[in-house]
Structure 1
Amino acid sequence: MNEMISGVGEPVVTDATKGGGSNAARIAEVKAWLAAQFDAAGKEVPDFEYTPRSIAHLYNLATVSQAKTQAANIVANDFRQKAAEYRSQAARIREILENVGLAQESLPSNVVASAQVLANVANLLNIRDTELSRWEEKQNGSSFLVAMGDISLRKTGVDEKRAKVHKESKTLLEYTRKAIARLTYLKRTLAQLEDDVAPCDAQMENWKTNLGVMASKERQYMQQYNNYKALLNRVGYTPEINHGVLVEMAEHRKDLEKKTKPILDTLRSYQDLPPDKALAALAIEDKKRQYAAAEKYLEDVLQSALATSD
């Protein structure tokens, strides 16, 4: 039946077919086809304008519809013929069974049930009888065994597919378990991080406050540094006058004070003597020489200290 239906093609109106008949013949054929279709539906054909485009389209539909109707009639006739043959064969088989005493009414119920089960199995296996021709028997054996073998092969294939699917499902289940465990770990980590947000925010605010204080102190210290630097520039400070030089000069100053202290004491004692102009002039000249010698010694010490620092 399928071969008969597929063998009937759907004609398409081409330029060559359009030129085969006149427009009047096509219009008449289209009108007849429309009248037949609407009469079958119990309706009247609506009025519309017959343009070349609509006529070509309707003619194509009519041709296709007639081809399909003809194919359907052929298939229906084939089905009717087969049904008649099956009814005739069923009547003949029923007559034969009644003649040999195997009518369905005279058989036990269990035999009827077994036959019904056998018929259902045959329909399930899509077999027509319990044996084949001799040549087919040599090649394939009975059709029942062939069908059972095919079912067995299908069952084996289904079992293999089931085992494969079971293995894949186990693999997917393992992946799912791992994914769930990883998701649980990530959720726990996220909850811990969310709990740590508030302390971290507080610590960040503290650091931010301290950073602002440190920046303010830095500006203050830089201002003080610039002020001290300007002050040192005003007093003539140079990098050569370092702490070591100042300490050494202080020690020399102490030595000079120790040396000049007796002289100062002597000069103070002279203040108590009666004034003698000649002796006073000699004493003053002597002290001037000692003072000049002390100044020269201090200058030499400073020069040597500066030379050593260089």
Structure 2
Amino acid sequence: MSDLISTMDPSIVVDGKNSSFDTAHIAEVKAWLVSQFEAVGKDVPDFEYTPRSVAHLHSLATVSQAKTQAAGIVAADLRQKAVEYRSQAARIKEILENVGLAQENLSTNAVASVQVLANVANLLNIRDTEISSYLVAMGDISLRKTGVEEKRAKVQKESRVLLDYTRKAIARLTYLKRTLAHLEDDAANCEAQMIHWKTNLAIMLQKEQQYIQQYYNYKALLNRVGYTSDISHGVLVEMAEHREELEKKTKPILDTLRSYQDLPPDKALAALAIEEKRRQYAAAEKYLEDVLHSALATTE
């Protein structure tokens, strides 16, 4: 398959135009693909090289090679450190054996204590078991613990504030729900009252139209009888009083005229009496007209 890749034509048609690939990039991509697939014991699959695929694969190859190189450097450093640690361990072991502190010569409790010290050193991420190293590590942990406690206190304070807000919000929500339920209960009564008011309003509108029509009818009637706005209530009262006075004055004349009906028929006397009473009645009517005209003139 690697032979197939090496014999593929690096020049293909893209969008109807000949596009020449960067041969250096193609070679790097081929070499990287071969190395990656051979590492897992597989052949490189057949595919078509395009500008897009070559660019993408070249980017992947560059990143992969950079990471592989970095990993190699780290691995070499770790191997070097491992060699140094093994060498140092061998020297320390030799020194301990020379002073009679070999592991087989120590008690079980001593071995357990040393193991605890080693485990604690690993947990504290220190390179040795010096007291100063432990103190520095413990101080760092104490500082971290203090920082964590401060953050925890701050978070607890914020949590209490949020809890208080939440309780108030729940109480407010409960109050709003209760108010909503109360308003919903009152809605039916209010709706019935609104219907009653609408009915009364319709009746009042009808009455209004009726009263307006009556007003225009009365106004037309007053216009027909000659009533004007100049005639006030006081004028009407005064005219009524004058009418009563005239009635009092004309009543004796009418009574006298009625008494003549019982007399024997004397045409000459009757004509004279009737003519006299007519003059008196005409004088009374003229007096009434004069009084009315004077009252109207006074009002104007």
TM-score by length of structure 2 reads: 0.80
Q: Which residue of 2 aligns with 1:158?
A: 148
Q: Which stretch shows the higher mean deviation, 255-264 or 242-251?
A: 242-251
**1:247 aligns to what SS in structure 2?**
helix
Task: Describe how 1:285-296 pairs up with structure 2 within 5 A.
Answer: 285-296=275-286
Shift of 1:104: 3.0
The alignment covers a number of residue pairs equal to 280
Query: Displacement of 1:199 after TM fit?
Result: 0.8
* 1:42 and 2:41 aligned: yes
- Alignment correspondent of 1:168: 158
Partner AA of 1:86 in structure 2 = Y
Cα separation, partners in 2 of 1:250 and 1:127, compared to 1, 3 Å: same
Instruction: Report the equivalent of 2:91.
Output: 92
Shift of the alpha carbon at 1:61?
5.1
- Deviation of 1:283 (Å): 1.8
Offset at 1:253? 2.0
Name the counterpart of 2:225: 235
C-alpha distance after superposition, 1:164-194 (max 9, x if no partner) = 2222222222222222222222222112111
How many angstroms does 1:197 deviate by?
Answer: 0.9
Of the three residues 177, 202, 218, the one matched with 1:212 is: 202
Aligned to 1:19: none
Shift in CA distance, 47/175, structure 1 to aligned 2, threshold 3 Å: closer
Match of 1:5 in 2: none
SS in 2 for 1:271: helix
| Structure 1 Cα separation of the partners of residues 249 and 235 of structure 2 | 21
- Relative contact order, higher structure (CA 8 A, sep 6+): 1
2: distance between equivalents of 1:112 and 1:34?
Answer: 52
Q: Distance in 1 between matches of 2:97 and 2:143?
A: 40
Residue type of the partner of 1:148?
M
**How far is 1:207 from its partner?**
0.6
Cα deviations by residue, 1:90-120 (Å, 9 ceiling, x for unpaired)? 2332333334333334433332332222222
Distance 1:191 1:298 in 2: 78
Q: Residue 179 of structure 1: which of 169, 176, 201 is its match?
A: 169
Listed one character per residue, the Cα deviations across residues 264-301 of structure 1 (whole Å, up to 9, x for unaligned) are: 22122222223334323332332122112211211122
Point out the more displaced range, 80-89 or 45-54: 45-54
Change in CA separation of 1:309 and 1:94 when aligned onto 2, cut-off 3 Å:
same
Change in 2 beyond 3 A, CA 1:73/1:193: same
Counterpart-to-counterpart distance in 1, 2:196 and 2:51: 91
How far does residue 307 in structure 1 lie from its aligned partner after superposition? 2.5
Deviations 1:216-256 (A, max 9, x none): 11111112222222222222222223333333322222222
Provide the C-alpha distance between the structure 1 equivalents of 2:284 and 2:61, rounded to a whole number of angstroms: 144
Conserved in 1, the CA contact under 8 Å of 2:117 and 2:129? no
Indicate if the aligned counterparts of 2:126 and 2:137 stay in contact, CA closer than 8 A.
yes
Give the 3-state SS of the residue equivalent to 1:208 in structure 2: helix
Which secondary structure does the structure 2 equivalent of 1:127 belong to?
coil
Q: Which residue of 2 aligns with 1:115?
A: 114
Match 2:291 to one of 301, 306, 309: 301
CA distance in 2, matches of 1:262, 1:32: 154
SS at match of 2:262: coil
How far apart are residue 65 of structure 1 and its match?
4.3
- Residue 127 of structure 1 deviates from its aligned partner by 1.8
Deviations 1:14-72 (Å, cap 9, x if unpaired)? xxxxxxxx976765565444333322222223344556776666566555544544443
Matched, 1:278 2:268: yes
Question: For 1:67-95, what per-residue CA distance to the aligned partner results, in whole angstroms no more than 9, with x for missing partners?
Answer: 54444333323322322222232233233
What's the CA shift for 1:156? 2.1
Q: Distance in 2 between matches of 1:27 and 1:53?
A: 12
**Bigger shift: residues 35-44 or 213-222:** 35-44
Please give the root-mean-square deviation of Cα atoms over the aligned residues, in Å. Answer: 2.9
Alpha-carbon separation, structure 2, partners of 1:224 and 1:78: 116
Q: For structure 1, which runs of at least 5 residues remain unmatched after alignment?
A: 1-21, 133-141
State how far apart, in whole Å, the 1-side matches of 2:109 and 2:143 are. Answer: 31
* Residue ranges of structure 2 left out of the alignment (5+ in a row): 1-20
- Return closer, same or farther for 1:166/1:30 CA change in 2, 3 Å cut-off: closer
Percent identity reads 81
Are the structure 2 counterparts of residues 33 and 245 from structure 1 closer, same or farther at C-alpha, using a change threshold of 3 Å?
Answer: closer
2:236 corresponds to 1:246: yes
Alpha-carbon separation, structure 1, partners of 2:28 and 2:163: 68
Could you tell me how far apart the structure 2 residues matched to 1:166 and 1:23 are? 62
